[in-house]
Amino acid sequence: SANEMTLMAARRIVVIRDFDKIKEEENELVLEYLKRPSEAATVVFQAVSLDQRRKVSTALLKTCTVVTFDLLSEQQAQRWAEQYLKLRDCRIEPSALGHLIGLVGTRLMRLSTELDKLAAYAGGGFINYAVVDQMVARSREHTGFELWDAIMERDPKRAMKIADRLLDDGTEPVVIVGSLGGLYRRLLMGKELIARRAPSEEVMKATGQYGPRAKVFAARLNRIPREEIERGIVRISQTDRALKSSEATPRLQIQYLISELTLPEAARWGIFGF
């Protein structure tokens, strides 16, 4: 398609979706095209991640302009949502905003849809936790919060079941690992603030836990040693790198990680290697 002559315009754009799933026998076609790209076409190679061990990936990175569209972090999404509502003369309480992000995630299309609905309901007023709980449906059966709960409770069967259903629903493995990374960063921030005797409001803001979840999160945080949190961050980082370099299957990598994160403390030392 990229080499075809254009009839109605000076240039054409060709989008190749799911390029990370390209078959090995098709690699040579891409490599040949990259040596002599069409001057009349802009070709977009879309992929969730690239296996950088493959020759075609190296060629793409050298030849193409790389544009990354990462999901917003929860804090970034919260700031965006606050500004979005401000333009509509609405305000939302922090606990309600944290609850909203937990329900729908950080994808802006879904988030903006729910914010429009909430703004219309509030009529330019104030949006509280109860309104969000009443008006917003969960985006999927199992949210990131539920996986977090299972990890912190060291419930491997429940955590594995939630992760499997997230994967079956189409959630990318790197998104699940990113969510777990977010959990452990919050745990570490919470530990540091508690050690400094910071006010509970500051701990809630830093960890993004409001309303009923805040007390539950704090109780679990007090039970988890700082060293365990640091080891978890290391393993999550290792799994993230493994996924991006295509080591083993993504589902297997997620299962290994969850198994290790939910092990009893006494059994962790040998596996984590500390």
Dist. CA 196–CA 234, nearest whole Å: 24
Last residue of a domain, one of 135, 162, 179: 135
Do 115 and 175 fall into the same domain? no
pLDDT at position 272: 46
Per the domain annotation, does 257 fall within a domain?
Answer: yes
pLDDT at 59: 85
Are 22 and 129 found together in one domain?
A: no
User: Do 237 and 154 fall into the same domain?
Assistant: yes
Whether 69 is in a domain gets the answer no
Domain membership of residue 37 as a residue range: 12-63
**91-92 and 126-127 as β-strands: parallel, antiparallel, unpaired?**
parallel
Say how far apart CA 115 and CA 119 lie, in whole Å: 6
Provide the whole-model pTM. Answer: 0.50
Q: What is the pLDDT along the chain (274 residues), one digit of tens a residue?
A: 555 555 555 677 888 888 777 777 788 888 888 888 887 788 888 887 777 777 888 888 888 888 877 778 888 889 999 999 999 999 999 888 988 887 787 888 889 999 999 999 988 889 998 899 888 865 544 466 788 888 888 888 889 988 887 887 778 888 889 889 988 988 898 888 888 888 877 887 778 776 667 777 888 888 888 888 899 999 999 998 888 877 668 889 999 999 999 887 645 544 444 4
Q: Do 225 and 187 share a structural domain? A: yes
Q: Give the whole-angstrom CA distance, residue 217 versus residue 180.
A: 15
Separation between Cα atoms, residue 185 and residue 157, nearest integer Å: 24
Does any domain span residue 106? Answer: yes
In a domain, 51, yes or no: yes
**Does 129 lie in the same domain as 150?**
no
Q: What are phi and psi of 106, to 5 degrees?
A: -110, 10
**What's residue 166's pLDDT?**
83
The reply to whether 183 falls in a domain is: yes
Task: Tell me, yes or no, whether 101 and 182 share the same domain.
Answer: no
**Position 214 in a domain:** yes
Q: Do residue 263 and residue 150 come from a single domain?
A: yes
SS (HEC) of 218-267? HHHHHHCCHHHHHHHHHHHHHHHHHHHCCCCCHHHHHHHHHHHHCCCHHH
pLDDT of residue 37: 82
Yes or no: say if 213 and 145 are a contact pair by the CB < 8 Å rule.
Answer: yes
Can you give the CATH number for the domain in which 164 is found?
A: 1.20.272.10
**Domain limit, last residue, from 110, 135, 160:** 135
Q: How many domains does the chain have?
A: 3
Task: Measure the CA dihedral 76/160/263/49, to 10°.
Answer: -50
| CATH number of 91's domain | 1.10.8.60
**Domain match, 166 and 258 both:** yes
Three-state SS string over the chain comes to CCCCCCCCCCCEEEEECCHHHCCHHHHHHHHHHHHCCCCCEEEEECCCCCCCCCHHHHHHHHHCCCCCCCCCCHHHHHHHHHHHHHCCCCEECHHHHHHHHHHHCCCHHHHHHHHHHHHHHHCCCEECHHHHHHHCCCCCCCCHHHHHHHHHCCCHHHHHHHHHHHHHCCCCHHHHHHHHHHHHHHHHHHHHHHHCCCCHHHHHHHHCCCCHHHHHHHHHHHHCCHHHHHHHHHHHHHHHHHHHCCCCCHHHHHHHHHHHHCCCHHHHHHHHCC
Pair 48, 82 in one domain: no
pLDDT at 126: 93
Does 236 lie in the same domain as 150? yes
| 1 within a domain of the structure (yes/no) | no
Query: Which among 177, 181, 160 is positioned nearest to 247, based on CA atoms?
Result: 177
Q: Specify the amino acid at residue 264.
A: P
Same domain, 221 and 195: yes
Q: Determine the pLDDT at residue 235.
A: 92
Residues 153, 200 share a domain:
yes
Which pLDDT belongs to residue 265?
60
pLDDT at 174: 87
5 lies in a domain?
no
